Amino acid sequence: MSESAIPAAAAPQRRRRFVPALAAYGGFLPAAVLLGGFFLVPLGIIVVYSFWQVIDYNVVHHWTLDNYRYFFSVAAYVSTMWKTLLVSLVATTLSLGLAFPFAYWLSRYVPRRLRAPLLVLVVVPFWTSYLLRVYSWLTILGEKGVLNRFLQWLGVTHHPIGLFLYDRPAVVLVLVYLYFPFAALTLYSSIERFDWDQLRAAMDLGATPMGAIRRILVPQIRPGIVTAVIFVFIPIIGEYLTPQIVGGTGGVMIGNLVVNFFQAAEYTRGAAVSLLIAAFVLLLLIVFRRSLSAPEAYGG
Amino acid sequence: MAADVGVLSRRGRLARWALSAYALLIYVFLFAPIALLVLFSFNANRYGTFPITGWTLKWYRSAVGNYQIHDALRTTLEVAGEVTAVSVVVGTAAAFPLVRSRLRFRDGIRIGFILPIMIPGLLIGVSLLVLFTGTLHVQLSPQTAVIGQSVYTTPFVILLVSARLQSFDRALERAAADLGANTFQRLLRVVFPLLLPAIVAGALLAFTLSLDEFIITYFLIGTQITLPIYIYTQIKFGITPEVNALASMLVAASLLVLAAAFALPQTMRASRRAVRFGRAWRAARATP
């Protein structure tokens, strides 16, 4: 930030006086219109809508808590909410759990010049279409999918098993597949900065390898872990496509409820459910606010 | 670190082998689904899965000849082009004051700017749907989808360009001023060329993100369809080899754009030269 002080000092005094605030802050203007008008304002409208009512397909400006009351009065909705939290928790844990040994391997055992290409290789699937990555699992898990064909070929079963698809385990599997790269990337960037001599020192002093990892490495990369949790958990809790494509009726998540409400033109109820998602996101951000350094998460 | 390789104990070697095998499995896990998709797109069997009954290009021919896909492709490219233009202009403009102005809550503003990335896309989609149809009473169209997607892609451009601006050597601008360049000339001939790699990378990023975006578009585009929405309507009824072919082409397109983005460091060499020049200039000024 010391940079910003230099030009002020170097710029001729005369110019500084005449440069209006517009030149200094005008760059924000388009972004303020776009993100203010089409991001913050709509979110505000959603908040208001969640306290209004729909009567005969018209939104009536009548303040009420009915939308929330309605949601919590239907057992299926409430259980979907809990299941969504469960799925998000399990998928996040699995993503990070799978990514940690990978990031550890990449930063400890891989020669330096190979690290960047191997890391890029992890990120490549991330840049192919999100929809297609979900879809590709249909060809594996589906009734005529690769897995069933393989099992039939092995003679394990003669009839295709419908078990793999259209339920919660399939949703968790695909979510882990989708968000693993993010977890791996975030964990790697913090493990990479770790000084491995500390681990060796701990083991010289009698710590077991696992003990040394748990007590020396993990505490030091905690900010990275928190960032990974946040950036994996948040998109998952608002997932719509994955449960829609591979989840069937058993895998329904809260995002599907939102879409159903909006498609049924029940805007106010949909708004209330969206706000529940936003509330969970906000809660997570508040709990972890100290460890959250957004620029770091994006390498900025 | 790298010195670890070679001086490991027996247990260390075992850990290395076990973890390497594990990493290999991870790569298989990441690439197998996409590889199978491509494999099946060449399979003659019309169920789009095993067994392989012969190799064919007919699914590609039918995908290329499908007029619905033509329409969807045209809409997709139109939307992606507009989204790219909007996010590059808005993002680059915002990066300047974010890095260079005196700001009291710089980190807060920064987090505010990346909020649209952090929040689930579903919320952006439904909240804009309510704004457009409920409040503004605007007809949904590809343009409303452009606005929605831009909300989500612009923060990426802001991040990329502001990171580049942060590492920017202000001495270069002062050197240009010493040589008589006015504000506009400095911007056009010094700042802009140096920022170009980040701007182009941001543009490519916005373009691919737009190409693949589903949920926001799904809510905001109205009766028109983009390729992801076309694919979505098709796979509701299961796997089709034609979609496999279309998917393979899309994956190839994404990877091409990605490769272009990665080729950028080559272009950045010119700016490293400029940085060296800046240092030399400052040194020359320091010594009378």
Query: What is the C-alpha separation between B29 and A212, in angstroms, rounded?
Result: 29
B280 at interface of A, judged by CB pairs closer than 8 A: no
Give the tens place of pLDDT for each residue, B53-82: 778 888 898 888 888 899 999 999 999 999
Query: What is the C-alpha separation between A94 and A239, in angstroms, rounded?
Result: 17
User: How confident is the model over B208-225, as a mean pLDDT?
Assistant: 91
Give the tens place of pLDDT for each residue, A38-72: 999 999 999 999 998 877 777 778 888 888 999 99
Q: Are residues B226 and B94 in the same domain?
A: yes
Q: Are residues B34 and B77 in the same domain?
A: no
Residue B60 lies in a domain: no
Interface of A with B in 222-281 (CB under 8 A): 230-231, 234-235, 237-241, 245, 255, 258-259, 262, 267, 270-271, 274, 277-278, 281
Structural domain boundaries enclosing B132: 66-286
Q: Are residues B73 and B29 in the same domain?
A: no
A146 at interface of B, judged by CB pairs closer than 8 A: yes
Residue B57 lies in a domain: no
Q: pLDDT > 70: what percent of chain A? A: 85
Q: Are residues A33 and A107 in the same domain?
A: no
Residue B50 lies in a domain: no
Res A6 pLDDT > 60: no
Q: What is the ipTM of this complex?
A: 0.82
Residue A67 lies in a domain: no
Total domains in the fold of chain B: 2
Q: Are residues B92 and B33 in the same domain?
A: no
Q: What is the CATH number of the domain that holds A253?
A: 1.10.3720.10
Distances (CA, A) of A95 to A118, A148, A185, A229, B133: 18, 25, 11, 9, 38
Q: Are residues B128 and B26 in the same domain?
A: no
CB contact under 8 A, A133 and B33: yes
Helices (H) and strands (E) in chain B, counts: 13, 0
Tokens of A58: 């018209």
pLDDT at B250: 86
| CB neighbourhood size of B60 (10 A) | 18
A126 at interface of B, judged by CB pairs closer than 8 A: no
A162 at interface of B, judged by CB pairs closer than 8 A: no
Q: What is the CATH number of the domain that holds B227?
A: 1.10.3720.10
Total domains in the fold of chain A: 2
pLDDT at A14: 52
Element (H or E) spanning A195, and its range? none
A298 band by pLDDT with thresholds 50, 70 and 90: very low
Query: What is the C-alpha separation between B213 and B226, in angstroms, rounded?
Result: 9
CB contact under 8 A, A31 and B113: yes
B104 band by pLDDT with thresholds 50, 70 and 90: confident
Name residues whose C-beta falls within 8 Å of residue B218's C-beta, 6 or more positions apart in sequence.
B125, B229, B232
Query: What is the C-alpha separation between B178 and A218, in angstroms, rounded?
Result: 51
Q: Are residues A219 and A291 in the same domain?
A: yes
CB contact under 8 A, B30 and A106: no
Residue in chain A lying closest to B19 (CA): A105
Q: Are residues A89 and A11 in the same domain?
A: no
Going by the DSSP 8-state scheme, the letter that residue A110 receives in this structure is: S
Q: Are residues B72 and B14 in the same domain?
A: no
Residue B26 lies in a domain: yes
Give the tens place of pLDDT for each residue, A231-290: 899 999 999 999 998 888 888 999 999 999 998 888 899 999 999 999 999 888 888 876
- State the nearest Cα–Cα gap between A77 and chain B, in angstroms: 18
Q: Are residues B101 and B238 in the same domain?
A: yes
Query: What is the C-alpha separation between A266 and A261, in angstroms, rounded?
Result: 5
Residue A49 lies in a domain: no
pLDDT at B128: 95
Angle at B213 between CA A265 and CA B226, to 5 degrees: 75
Q: Are residues A16 and A96 in the same domain?
A: no
Residue B51 lies in a domain: no
Tokens of A70: 């309605």
Q: Are residues A2 and A116 in the same domain?
A: no
Angle at A40 between CA A38 and CA A46, to 5 degrees: 95
CB contact under 8 A, B33 and A140: yes
Give the tens place of pLDDT for each residue, A13-27: 555 555 566 677 888
Q: Are residues B25 and B165 in the same domain?
A: no
Side-chain-facing half-sphere of B128: CA atoms under 13 Å: 33
Q: Are residues B37 and B79 in the same domain?
A: no
B141 band by pLDDT with thresholds 50, 70 and 90: very high
Structural domain boundaries enclosing A12: 1-43
Q: Are residues B77 and B25 in the same domain?
A: no
Contacts with A29 from chain B: Cβ below 8 Å: 93
